[in-house]
């Protein structure tokens, strides 16, 4: 999952970036409204954390422009001001959630998890696909109750696939959502991760659609045609 943070305070920005990266997200940080607007329009983020008081371009304006451009990524708004009229303005500009400074990092993470979950169409806190489970809070996976030991990047790949289970996910999309901006495009890292994942969770769970991408399925529910 790839998150855009738009925050002008360098300290808070760094702190947020660190916390999110620690939680397993790929993070880009924009220090002002203009750059935030540009990044949000050009890069495929799964969610954005947006400060309201920003230099160059206000947070609400950024959000409005994203929405006007058809961007429907979930946005969590952040602000020092706690007057409810501004919260409401933020919401009606198209924000999905709102957090008032100061806040506890845990709560930001929890709200972000809920947002990502809901966006992917899942209500449950734990993602499930047959007897494969991913606990997004603890960042742990299990098959049939048996915990599986995953590395950070293996977890990211699996997590993204779980959020889009049943769908064909192109390799390029996987790359874009797992790494932040600069990444060597022609590399077979993803294939290696897929291979290692298959060995850990069972090889019949991740299908490869040749020329299209990968697809996560529940092998019990879905009989493989042919």
- Contact residues for a copy of itself (CB under 8 A)? 67, 71-74, 84-85, 87-88, 91-98, 104, 106-107, 110-111, 113-115, 118-119, 121-125, 137-140, 146-149, 151-153, 155, 166-168, 209-213, 222, 225-226
CB of 39 to a copy of itself, least distance (A): 17
Applying CB under 7 A, does 65 fall inside the site for DNA? Answer: no
Cα 139 from Cα 148, distance rounded (Å): 11
User: Which CB sits closer to DNA, 67 or 198?
Assistant: 198
Sign of the dihedral through C-alpha 11, 13, 16, 22? negative
Tokens of 159: 């997590």
Q: How many residues bind DNA (CB under 7 A)?
A: 24
Identify the bridge partners of residue 127 per DSSP, sorted by sequence position.
Answer: 134
- In the complex with a copy of itself, which residue's Cβ is closer, 55 or 107? 107
Show contacts with DNA in window 158-197 (CB under 7 A).
Answer: 171, 179, 184, 187-189, 191-195
Handedness of CA 216, 152, 178, 210 (dihedral sign): negative
Question: Burial letters for 34-66: b for 16+ Cβ neighbours within 10 Å, e otherwise?
Answer: ebbbebbeeeebbbbbbbbebeebebbebbebb
What, of DNA, a copy of itself, none, does residue 87 touch, CB below 5 to 8 Å by kind? Answer: a copy of itself
Query: Minimum Å distance from CB 47 to DNA?
Result: 21
Other C-beta atoms closer than 10 Å to the C-beta of 131 total 15
Q: Does 117 bind DNA (CB under 7 A)?
A: no
Please enumerate in sequence order all residues whose Cβ is within 8 A of that of 58, keeping only pairs 6 or more positions apart, or say none. 33, 52
188, interface contact from DNA, a copy of itself, none, CB < 5-8 Å by kind? DNA
Query: Minimum distance from CB of 199 to DNA (Å)?
Result: 7
Sheet arrangement for strand 26-30? 26-30, 2-6, 47-51, 75-79, 97-100
Using CB under 7 A, pick the residue from 101, 117, 153, 164 that binds DNA. 153
């Amino acid at each position: 999952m790839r998150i855009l943070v738009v925050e002008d305070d360098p300290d808070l920005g760094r702190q947020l970036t660190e916390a999110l990266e620690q939680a397993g997200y790929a993070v880009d940080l924009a220090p002002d409204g203009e750059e935030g607007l540009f990044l949000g329009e050009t890069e495929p983020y799964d969610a954005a954390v947006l400060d309201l008081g920003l230099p160059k371009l206000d947070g609400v304006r950024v959000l409005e422009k994203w929405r006007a451009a058809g961007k429907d990524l979930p946005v969590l708004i952040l602000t020092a001001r706690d007057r409810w009229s501004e919260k409401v303005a933020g919401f009606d500009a198209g924000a999905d959630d709102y957090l008032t400074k100061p806040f506890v990092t845990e709560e930001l993470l929890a709200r972000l998890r809920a947002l990502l979950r809901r966006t992917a169409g899942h209500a449950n806190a734990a993602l499930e696909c047959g007897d494969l489970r991913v606990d997004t809070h603890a960042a742990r996976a299990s098959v049939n109750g048996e915990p599986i030991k995953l590395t950070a990047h293996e977890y990211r790949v699996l997590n993204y696939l779980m959020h889009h289970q049943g769908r064909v996910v192109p390799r390029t999309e996987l790359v874009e959502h797992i790494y932040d901006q600069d990444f060597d495009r022609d590399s077979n890292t993803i294939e290696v991760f897929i291979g290692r994942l298959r060995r850990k969770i069972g090889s019949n769970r991740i299908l490869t659609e040749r020329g299209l991408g990968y697809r996560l399925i529940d092998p019990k529910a879905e009989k493989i045609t042919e």
